[in-house]
Homo-oligomer: A and B are copies of this chain.
Amino acid sequence: MRVYISDLSKYVGQTVELRGWVYNTRSSGKVKFLQVRDGTGFCQCIFFRGECDESSFTEFEKLTQESTVYVTGVVRAEPRSPGGYELGAKNLEIKHITENYPITPKEHGTDFLMSQRHLWLRSKNQHAIMRVRSEIISAIRSFFDGRGFTLMDAPIFTPNACEGTSTLFETQYFDDKAYLSQSGQLYAEACAAAHGKVYCFGPTFRAEKSKTRRHLIEFWMVEPEVAFNDMYDNMDLAEQFVEYIVQRVLTNRADELKVLERDVEKLKPIKTPFPRLHYKEAAEIIKKENPEFIIGDDFGAPDETIISSKFDKPVFVHHYPSAIKAFYMKRDPKEPESAMGCDLLATEGYGEVIGGGQREDNLDLLLERLKEHGLKQEFFEWYLDLRRYGAFQSAGFGLGLERTVAWICGLPHIRETIPFPRMYGRMYP
* A411 CB within 8 Å of chain B: no
A96 within 8 A of B: yes
Interface of A is mostly: mixed
20 extra A-B contacts, CB within 8 A, seeds A98-B390, A99-B388: A19-B228, A38-B227, A39-B150, A39-B192, A39-B193, A68-B390, A68-B392, A95-B391, A101-B390, A102-B389, A121-B190, A130-B150, A133-B152, A138-B151, A152-B419, A156-B218, A157-B217, A187-B420, A191-B419, A202-B203
* Interface, chain A (partner B; CB < 8 A): 2, 4, 6, 19-21, 38-40, 66-68, 95-96, 98-99, 101-102, 117-119, 121-122, 126-127, 130-131, 133-134, 137-138, 141, 145, 148, 150-159, 169-174, 176, 178, 180, 187, 190-197, 202-203, 205, 207, 209, 217-218, 220, 227-228, 382-383, 385-386, 388-393, 418-420, 422, 424-425, 427-429
Closest Cβ of chain B to A374, distance in Å, is 21
* A40 touching B148, Cβ below 8 Å: yes
Chain B residues near A425 (CB, 8 Å)?
Answer: 174
| Separation of A390 and B138 alpha carbons in the complex (Å) | 30
Across the two chains, which residue of chain B brings its CB closest to A40? B196
In the complex this chain forms, how many copies of it are found? 2
A306 to chain B, nearest CB (A): 33
26 pairs, A vs B, C-beta closer than 8 Å = A4-B148, A6-B148, A19-B227, A39-B195, A39-B196, A68-B392, A95-B393, A98-B388, A98-B389, A102-B389, A118-B187, A118-B190, A118-B386, A131-B150, A131-B195, A134-B145, A134-B150, A153-B203, A155-B419, A157-B218, A159-B427, A159-B428, A169-B171, A173-B427, A174-B207, A174-B424
